[in-house]
Amino acid sequence: MASTQPQSGRKRRSGSTRRRSRPLIGITTSDHKSFLAWWCDWISVWRAGGRPLRISPARPLRRPVDGLIIGGGDDIGAQRYGGEMQLDVRIDPARDELELELLARYLPERIPILGICRGAQIINIHCGGSLIEDIQTTYRHIRNRRMVLPRKRIEIEPFSQLADILNRRYCHVNSLHHQAVDRPGDGLKVVAHDRDDLVQAIESDRHPFLIGVQWHPEFLLFSRSQQRLIRALVDAALERKPAAVENGSPCRNAGSRGKASARHDRQPAPGRRAQQKQADEDTHDR
C-alpha cells in the first residue's frame, strides 16, 4: 500500500505557497477607528486573497506594499483644497499628511490604489481637484441620508473600469458621507453619480488601477458585486510586476494644494528586529 505521507507534505507546501503569494495590501485608518470597522476592512481584503496591513498616524508604513486602500474616516482639512474652515466637524490633520505622503510615494510606482469615501476625496485633492464641503449646506434641496445598508441607487458610466469590475450599469450602495467630489482632479474622470447628480466614483485614465468610490464596499460583505471591487484591487496587486514600475505621477498637477513633502518617498529597509516587530503587529491586527 502506498504511503499517504508525501501527499500530506505536498498539501502543506501548497498551503505555505498560497500564504506567501498573498499580496500585502496597506489600509489607511484613523488611530481611533473601531474594531468592528477594522474587522470589515480586514475580512474583505483577506477573503479577496490579500494580506491586510493597518496603516495610521500612530502606525506608519515601514515596508513596501503591493496595493493600497485609502479608507474612510473624518473630514479632510479645508486648507488642503482651498475650502472654508468649519468648526463643527472633526478633522485629522496627521492622517491627511500620512495619506498625501503615501499617494506621493506610490502613485508614481503605479501600484493599484482604491479610495473609499474620504479616500476618494483625498485622491481627488492630491490630483488638484476640489470638494463640496457640506452637501446639504451647498444644495439645500438634497436629502443626504446616511445609511449603512445599500439603499442609494447610482448609475455607472458604461465602458469605465468600474463598470467592467462590477459588471453592471446600476447598483445600490450605502452612504455615510456629507462631503463629495466637486471638480475632478487632473487625470481623473467621474464614472458614477447618484440621482442628485452627486459624484459617486472617480477613476484615472492614466493609471492602471486608481479608483475612488464614495460608498463603503467593505461594509457590504454580502454583496458579490461590491466584493469584486476589493478582489480586483488584490488581483491587480498580485499581477503587478516590480519590473513594470514607471516613473512619474498620473496626476500632472498632483498636490497643487494637497501634495505632501517628498522626504518620505523612500524609507530604508528595516532590520531583522524591526521586521519581526512589524510581523507581530500584523498578527495582532488580525
The CA R_g of the chain, rounded to the nearest whole Å, is 20
As a whole-number percent, the residues of the chain with pLDDT over 90 amount to: 57
| CATH 3.40.50.880 correct for 23-285 | yes
Higher pLDDT, 265 or 286: 286
| pLDDT score recorded for residue 21 | 87
157 annotated active-site: no
218 annotated active-site: yes
Average pLDDT over residues 92-107: 95
Average predicted confidence (pLDDT) for the chain: 81
Distance between alpha carbon 30 and the CA centroid of its chain, in Å? 13
pLDDT value at 284 more than 50: no
171 annotated active-site: no
Q: Which amino acid is at 216?
A: H
| pLDDT score recorded for residue 33 | 80
Q: Give per-residue pLDDT as tens, 241-270.
A: 554 445 567 786 665 544 433 333 333 334
Closest CA to 257 of 189, 190, 206, 185: 185
| pLDDT score recorded for residue 77 | 82
pLDDT value at 162 more than 50: yes
Q: How far apart are CA 83 and CA 283, in angstroms?
A: 40
pLDDT value at 96 more than 80: yes
In the DSSP assignment, the letter for residue 194 is E
Closest CA to 285 of 38, 64, 46: 38
| pLDDT score recorded for residue 19 | 52
| φ and ψ of 82, to 5 deg | 75, 25
| pLDDT score recorded for residue 243 | 40
Closest CA to 61 of 88, 6, 99: 99
Cβ(192)–Cβ(198) below 8 Å: no
Residue 135 buriedness (CB in 10 A; 0-12 / 13-18 / 19+): middle
Q: Give per-residue pLDDT as tens, 127-160.
A: 999 999 887 776 666 666 677 888 899 999 999 9
Catalytic residue among 126, 177, 193, 216: 216
| pLDDT score recorded for residue 36 | 85
pLDDT value at 89 more than 90: no
Catalytic residue among 99, 117, 126, 127: 117
| pLDDT score recorded for residue 251 | 80
